[in-house]
Amino acid sequence: MAKKGAAPLIGPRRHMQAPVEHAMHRKATCLRLLHYFRAEQWRVALLTLIVAVSVAAGVSAPVFMSWAIDAITAAAYEKVPDILLWMFGAFALYAVLLFFQGRLSARLSQSIIRRLRKDLFEKINGLPLVYLDRHPHGDLMSRMTNDADNIATVISTSLGTMFAGLLSIIGTTAVMLSFSVPLTALTWLTAVVTVLMTKYIAAKMGRYFRERQELLGRLNSMVEEEVMAVRTVKAYAREAKVTADFVQTADSLTKTGIRAESIGSSMGPVMNTISNFSFVIVSVFGAYFALRGWITVGVISAFTIYSKQFSRPINEMAQLYGQIETALAGAERIFSVLDEPGERRQGREVPDVVHGDIEFRHVSFSYVPEKRVIDDFSLRIGAGRKIALVGATGSGKTTIVNLLMRFYEIDEGRILLDGQDIRTYAPVSLRKLVGIVLQDTVLFSDTVRYNIAYAKPGATLDEVQRAAEFAHADAFIQHLPQQYDTVLQGAGAGLSAGQRQLLAIARACLASPRILILDEATSNVDTRTEASIQDAMARLMHDRTCLIIAHRLSTIRDADEIIVMDQGRIVEHGRHEELLQQNGRYRALYETQFAGQES
């Protein structure tokens, strides 16, 4: 895991940017990241060659300039054109190679990140639901986007820059030593001062930049909450208070931003001052050495360039330190997800002919150890029967569905399908038998046709239309701009809750499953619409094993059996009229709803 300077950002604070993160296992993370470079060996080799040649061209250009100046000083003018031609050639080669270095680095980084994101996306799809429930979705998205982008940035910019900088320092030092050891020592001295000043300013700057990012995240959260809760704000006339809080945070952000930018903008002038100071030192001592006859005038000219050429990669590498550390921490976060055990997919295929007989036999389950949600639950659902589960919130109704779908694995007991333990079947094969309509309808930002056909890839338009007519969704679809080809923006944000639920019912109709699960499937449909689709729902459930989770008890009067649950156990069971006559938990729930109150 990555060591952070702040706690993970979850919920409304997710827009905040944390300080530079540090990987706890740098070496292991680097070695694992290098694994992704193996498929790009030819690009890495070509990039290494280009960087080496470009550094050689950049280092040699001042040498040619030194020779030209010395030739002019010695009145050997016939040599000058050839030397200048070599010098311009070196500069031109350097510029061209820099262009190709940037393009190749970009291709290398995007190729590596594409494979890394592909591995991560496949892993997330294969993770068990328990992992996704216990980890903030925003954090997983951040690993897919921000962490991957940080790695891509380091590969495309920092990798080539670091390698080129290292070669440039070595090459420049070698050439300077060949010219003058004393001047080289003086250049190194100013480079040390540059590094120390960079660290000092970066430390000061980091404090204010972190504070600015925290305030920016807080401001973004306030805006997000205001937009999402605008009706509540207006209903309670809190506009003035919300505005005052926003202005206060914005003022703090402005003050901190000014301090941060002021210190940040001082980095350039300070570095230039040190560079100019180095230039003065080289010029003064170079002139003195030239007067003593120890070096030539051309060497002085070359050293003035080398002093800048020498300090530039040091400054760049110092500034890239934070980016590299953050990228390594991001890679470690990505690898931590890749190392998670995936959902067990082994098992045999479900037989072609399935009757749909389901039995829960002494099933116990807990999300958190020692806190059971389902306790010694036993239930037999005969093939083709319609069973309803009712009970207060938290009684375990939805958990029963999760266990049947193998979104979670049971702790004790067995769940049987036609007498066979469902754990012997591959989860994907098992889930193909089940059609499910959830209370919270999930639609995709695609066409209406695609959303209905999601349950049966390759379905024809006629099949989609029949399913929509079956679910009474065709009527409103015909009034959409492009009917079945209408693209749902924002995952159906332009549709009413009832219309979205009708599309989900149509999707289940198209799947034609052997087992049907309805989790409060008509909760978002008005009473009139609900009545109009009762016959469609009855036809859909005909001759199928149905498990219905219901809060609106009026929708389950015709269920073959109603199971009343409380704290993971069955407390009552029977048909609607039988349960009313028992004057127990079910009758209390029914009378509460009949009185117009929430259960």
Averaged confidence pLDDT in the chain: 76
Query: Of how many residues is the chain composed?
Result: 599
Q: What is the rounded CA–CA span in Å between residue 534 and residue 345?
A: 37
Q: What is the rounded CA–CA span in Å between residue 68 and residue 91?
A: 15
Mean pLDDT for the stretch of residues 42-51: 84
Q: What is the rounded CA–CA span in Å between residue 223 and residue 216?
A: 11
Q: What percent of the chain has pLDDT over 70?
A: 82
What's residue 15's pLDDT?
35
Give the residue among 154, 199, 210 at the shortest CA–CA distance from 19. Answer: 210
- To which H or E segment does residue 343 belong? none
What residue ranges in 448-598 does DSSP mark as E strands? 515-519, 545-549, 561-566, 569-574
Over the stretch 286-307, which tens digit does the pLDDT of each residue have? 777 777 777 777 777 777 777 7
pLDDT at 329 over 80: no
What's residue 19's pLDDT?
43
Task: Assess contact for 544 and 384: CB atoms under 8 A.
Answer: yes
Q: 491 or 118: which carries more pLDDT confidence? A: 118
According to DSSP, the β-strands at 420-421 and 412-417 are antiparallel
What's residue 340's pLDDT?
78
What's residue 490's pLDDT?
66
- To which H or E segment does residue 592 belong? helix 585-594
3-state secondary structure of 565: strand
Least confident of 40-54, 300-314, 386-400, 453-467: 300-314
Q: What is the rounded CA–CA span in Å between residue 495 and residue 290?
A: 83
Of the pLDDT bands very low, low, confident and very high (cuts 50, 70, 90), residue 4 is very low
Over the stretch 103-114, which tens digit does the pLDDT of each residue have? 888 888 888 888
Q: How far, CA to CA in Å, does 78 sit from each of 67, 71, 84, 302, 597?
A: 12, 9, 11, 21, 104
Of the pLDDT bands very low, low, confident and very high (cuts 50, 70, 90), residue 576 is confident
Mean pLDDT for the stretch of residues 64-69: 78
Query: Looking up tokens 């007991």, which residue turns up?
Result: 413
Of the pLDDT bands very low, low, confident and very high (cuts 50, 70, 90), residue 527 is low
CB-hemisphere CA count at 13 Å for 564? 19
Mean pLDDT for the stretch of residues 416-428: 83
What's residue 533's pLDDT?
61
> What residue type is 11 in one-letter code?
G
What's residue 396's pLDDT?
79
Of the pLDDT bands very low, low, confident and very high (cuts 50, 70, 90), residue 525 is low
What's residue 8's pLDDT?
35
What's residue 528's pLDDT?
66
Q: Taking CA 436 as the corner, what is the angle to CA 553 and CA 526, rounded to the nearest 5 degrees? A: 45
pLDDT at 311 over 50: yes
Over the stretch 272-290, which tens digit does the pLDDT of each residue have? 677 677 777 777 887 777 7
pLDDT at 523 over 70: no
Q: What is the rounded CA–CA span in Å between residue 572 and residue 580?
A: 11
What's residue 22's pLDDT?
47
pLDDT at 23 over 80: no
> What residue type is 215 in one-letter code?
L
Of the pLDDT bands very low, low, confident and very high (cuts 50, 70, 90), residue 203 is low
DSSP H helices in 159-238: 160-179, 181-228, 230-235
pLDDT at 424 over 80: yes
Q: Is the pTM of this model over 0.85?
A: no
Over the stretch 157-173, which tens digit does the pLDDT of each residue have? 777 777 777 887 888 88
> What residue type is 598 in one-letter code?
E
